[in-house]
Amino acid sequence: LQQRRGLRLSAPAAIQVTVRDALNQALDEELERDERVFLLGEEVAQYDGAYKISRGLWKKYGDKRVIDTPISEMGFTGIAVGAAMAGLRPVCEFMTFNFSMQAIDQVINSAAKTCYMSAGSIAVPIVFRGPNGASAGVAAQHSQCFAAWYGHCPGLKVVSPWSAEDAKGLLKAAIRDDNPVVMLESELLYGVPFEMSEQAQSKEFVIPIGKAKIERQGTHVTLVAHSRPVGHCMEAAAVLSKEGVECEVINLRTIRPMDIETVEASVVKTNHLVTVEGGWPQFGVGAEICARIMEGPAFNYLDAPAVRVTGADVPMPYAKILEDNSIPQVKDIVFAVKKALNI
């Protein structure tokens, strides 16, 4: 009626949501939607989570749905995997993915391989989630990126969100998936606000696992990243744009299965490729992308060798100045782009 009277109706505006709140929304909505879903991990219940991701959920859903565990990753991960085999849908939180090494036998041998080894008769619908990669000043034993480790293993799906929409949509998709999913979050992004569209505010919003997103269109070079480095790529693209270089920025979102088709299509358009990641260089995510491009049809469109930007090949130092030099910065991406373009 208002439209007939000539009044202009504005669409509901997007809102600013932090990655922390997006993850909390996803957990709340999925706990409400499916009674088989439950969350377990260290301090997830009464303390509201070490990073406040599970804030308010214990009070809302109680001890049976949000469970504090002892400090024993092998133990509570084994419980979660067994629960998934029995028909529940656990979300298993690691206080940092570095601690998942205590439980890697459960993640790989018990969760990832069971569907195949049971000829498909046993599904393991479980999500392993928590902060991955470098934080700030937490040194080597709390700073490793596990994208390449878990991306290496058949039987797992591996997702790595950047924005609030990524975090919400991928976590909801992971919880609903019948396969074990490793969700690698960034502690440094938890408090960062992102614009969340009206669509993403819906309780039914999910992001398909295995599909990358082009965050910025460009014509001169393709930048591919996941997690926090996507933001660095966007900043580098803004800097380079002032110099007449237009970067196409691809947010991988999923490490396994990898959306190499989106990367190939971009390389065919730009003829140049730079990969960016916070993990170590050897056998890394960027190395896999470069190999896949070399082996596929897009290789013939490259005008220069692909360039990788990675973390330094050292255990993460504690000192801030050394830490900064061990993690890819915007200036490193700008340098790599100019190297690829020979400018």
Whether residue 257 is preceded by a cis peptide bond, meaning omega within 30 degrees of 0, is: yes
Closest CA to 248 of 224, 279, 277, 283: 224
73 is catalytic: yes
Measure the CA–CA gap between 84 and 277, rounded to whole angstroms: 32
Q: Could you give the angle at the alpha carbon of 169 between the alpha carbons of 289 and 136, nearest 5°?
A: 65
Alpha carbons 317 and 325: distance in angstroms, whole number:
9
**Residue among 142, 220, 232, 272 flagged as catalytic:** 142
Residue type, 318: Y
Distances (CA, A) of 43 to 55, 57, 152: 11, 12, 30
Separation of alpha carbons 227 and 214, rounded Å = 14
The single-letter DSSP state of residue 252 is: -
Residue type present at position 216:
R
Catalytic residue among 73, 93, 185, 277: 73
| 106: CB partners within 8 A, 6+ apart | 74, 77, 78, 81
Q: Which of 20, 25, 41, 44 is nearest to 126 (CA)?
A: 41
Backbone angles phi, psi at 249, to 5 degrees: -105, 120
Cα distance from N-terminal residue to C-terminal residue, the chain: 58
Which residue reads 């879903």 in tokens? 37
Judge whether 142 counts as a catalytic residue: yes
- CA-CA-CA-CA torsion sign (201, 157, 74, 134): negative
Per the rule left: phi > 0, alpha: psi between -120 and 50, beta: everything else, 34 is: beta
Catalytic residues: 73, 142
